[in-house]
Amino acid sequence: MSLTWKAARSSGLHGRFSVPGDKSISHRAIIFGALAEGRTQVSGFLEGEDTRATARIFGQLGVRIDTPDAQSRIIHGVGLHGLQANSAPLDCGNAGTGMRLLTGLLCAQTFDSVLIGDASLSQRPMARVIGKLEAMGARISAREGNYAPLHVHGGQRLKPVEIDTGVASAQVKSALLLAAMYAEGESLITEPRPTRDYTEAMLQSLGWPISYSPGRIRIHGGGRLQAGEIRIPGDISSAAFLITAALLIPDSDITLVNIGVNPRRTGLLQALRMMGGRIELFNEREQGGEPVADVRVRHSALKAIDLPEELVPDMIDECPIFFVAAALSDGITHARGLAELRVKESDRIASMVAGLRAMGAVVEETPDTVTITGGRLHGAEIQSHHDHRIAMSFAVAGQCASGETVLRDCDNVATSFPGFVDLAQSAGMILE
Ligand code: S3P
């Protein structure tokens, strides 16, 4: 399927909105709810294609998951050893999180499984999880050693490890944590830079023996997970498009309510504030152990920055929309430490550089850096490469460009942000 959007200049965003639930937490809610003993009630679940794919897979593995209403799930957990074999392939769709976390979980089961994904996911590197899991005793075969389909061979005895993830990746870390739950003894997992800690937090809140500080986790195998309630806040990665749009479009003033503001996710807010963005957090509170806030954003004149490299893991999914902000700021923005962007749903450096150049921006890239000279943008025809965050980034760029912007291949936006076009329109974006 190929979906085309058209965007044009907006005269301002206004109103109070909520965005769909956090994608990372939604995947984990399904996984840990399934492994818990008893009934886990989930609210704020992301009704996206990625997270629904994960839920469907657990259905295939014998877990009953009810949908009492949209954004809610009741998961009838089967316990750590209650999953059942399924000889049919388990389809993760577009979701790297689904596939990498499930690899960690399934390699510890007594049965074999096959994980498959869509064309994009089938090109994304899996050796980063396979190699580390093999060090624990797992057996996984992949196409060319690196790509889906993944044949995960069960029946292995996993041993605890002391291991570094090697790459700043919450997916790799989480795959190792899932496997470590089944190993006999204590594992120590470290990261080169701290990444989102939702897996650790959820394990702890469901009663698993785990202790952690940023970038360093000790976990015991062989515990039990108690079922509980999981309340999922709005996804800051989805809010990011509206936040950046409101900063860039003159006369805007919006408030986004109930947004997850875990410090491992708020790098974009820090970067935009450094650029002069007027972003205020209100009503800061804790919900299910996660910091949550309402975010007010007003139009601001933005200045270029040198993006501190240590912020990159905390805004890894927001780099594309950050590049749009840079292209419309005063001065030259430098960003480095971006290599991971090349292995996302598309090569996000290449996708953004090509699109911004088509809109008239001056942009330079190296394998892991981007330099953007701020200026004006004009409408153009843009290829989204079936990447949800590229499509939404250029939908925002189109609001600030002269003429019409035509966006090709926007079909995958529903993986993370169902209802984006309707919400964007009601806020004042010109998008159809
Ligand atoms: C995610 C981790 C990040 C992020 C992705 C979600 C997660 O991926 O880009 O959207 O839920 O753990 P990496 O671990 O590959 O950096």
**For position 82, what pLDDT does the model report?**
98
Q: Is residue 170 domain-shared with residue 189, that is, in the same domain?
A: yes
Q: Which of 169, 200, 314, 338 to mutate to test the pocket of ligand 1 (most atoms within 8 A of CB)?
A: 169
Picking from 231, 253, 275, the residue at the C-terminal end of a domain is: 231
Whole-model pTM: value is 0.98
For 143, the 3-state DSSP assignment is: strand
Total count of residues recorded for the chain: 432
Q: Which atom of ligand 1 lies closest to the CA of 317?
A: 9
Which residue puts its alpha carbon closest to atom 16 of ligand 1? 169
User: How does residue 1 score in pLDDT terms, banded at 50, 70 and 90?
Assistant: low
Which residue puts its alpha carbon closest to atom 4 of ligand 1? 317
Q: Is residue 320 domain-shared with residue 300, that is, in the same domain?
A: yes
Evaluate whether 19 touches 423 at the Cβ level (below 8 Å): yes
CA 265, CA 316: separation in Å to the nearest integer?
8
DSSP bridge partners of 11: none
Strands 278-287 and 290-298: antiparallel
How large is the average pLDDT for residues 351-367? 98
Rounded to a whole number of angstroms, the CA Rg of the chain reads: 21
pLDDT(259) > 80: yes
How large is the average pLDDT for residues 154-163? 98
Residues labelled as active-site residues: 317
Picking from 206, 231, 256, the residue at the C-terminal end of a domain is: 231
Q: Is residue 289 domain-shared with residue 177, that is, in the same domain?
A: no
Q: Is residue 272 domain-shared with residue 212, that is, in the same domain?
A: no
Contacts of 10 (CB under 8 A, 6+ apart): 245, 249, 399, 400, 428, 429, 430
Picking from 202, 231, 260, the residue at the C-terminal end of a domain is: 231
Q: Is residue 97 domain-shared with residue 217, that is, in the same domain?
A: yes
DSSP bridge partners of 115: 90, 150
- Cα of 95 vs centre of ligand 1, distance in Å, is 10
Render pLDDT for 113-134 as a digit per residue (tens, 0 to 9).
999 999 999 999 999 999 999 9
Render pLDDT for 386-431 as a digit per residue (tens, 0 to 9).
999 999 999 999 999 999 999 999 999 999 999 999 999 999 999 9
Render pLDDT for 169-185 as a digit per residue (tens, 0 to 9).
999 999 999 999 999 99
Percent of the chain with pLDDT over 70: 100
Write down the mean pLDDT value for the chain.
97
Q: Is residue 257 domain-shared with residue 322, that is, in the same domain?
A: yes
Q: Is residue 17 domain-shared with residue 61, that is, in the same domain?
A: no
Q: Is residue 364 domain-shared with residue 305, that is, in the same domain?
A: yes
CA 84, CA 70: separation in Å to the nearest integer?
27
Q: Which residue has the tokens 């491992």?
A: 264
pLDDT(202) > 80: yes
Q: Is residue 260 domain-shared with residue 299, that is, in the same domain?
A: yes
- Cα of 171 vs centre of ligand 1, distance in Å, is 5
Which residue puts its alpha carbon closest to atom 11 of ligand 1? 24
**For position 88, what pLDDT does the model report?**
98
pLDDT(286) > 70: yes
- Cα of 170 vs centre of ligand 1, distance in Å, is 6
Q: Is residue 84 domain-shared with residue 107, that is, in the same domain?
A: yes
Distance between alpha carbon 175 and the CA centroid of its chain, in Å?
Answer: 15
- Give the angle 34-39-44 at the CA atoms, nearest 5°: 80
Domain that holds residue 139: 23-231
Report the domain count for the chain: 2
Q: Is residue 279 domain-shared with residue 413, that is, in the same domain?
A: yes
Tokens representing 244 are 């950046």
Backbone angles phi, psi at 130, to 5 degrees: -60, -50
Q: Is residue 227 domain-shared with residue 270, that is, in the same domain?
A: no
User: Residue 152: which CATH number?
Assistant: 3.65.10.10
Alpha-carbon separation of residue 15 from 99, 116, 252, 393 (angstroms)? 37, 41, 9, 20
Contacts of 113 (CB under 8 A, 6+ apart): 85, 86, 90, 102, 106, 151, 152, 154
How large is the average pLDDT for residues 39-65? 98
- For ligand 1, residues with CB inside 6 Å are 24, 96-97, 169-171, 174, 196, 316-317, 340
How large is the average pLDDT for residues 341-367? 98
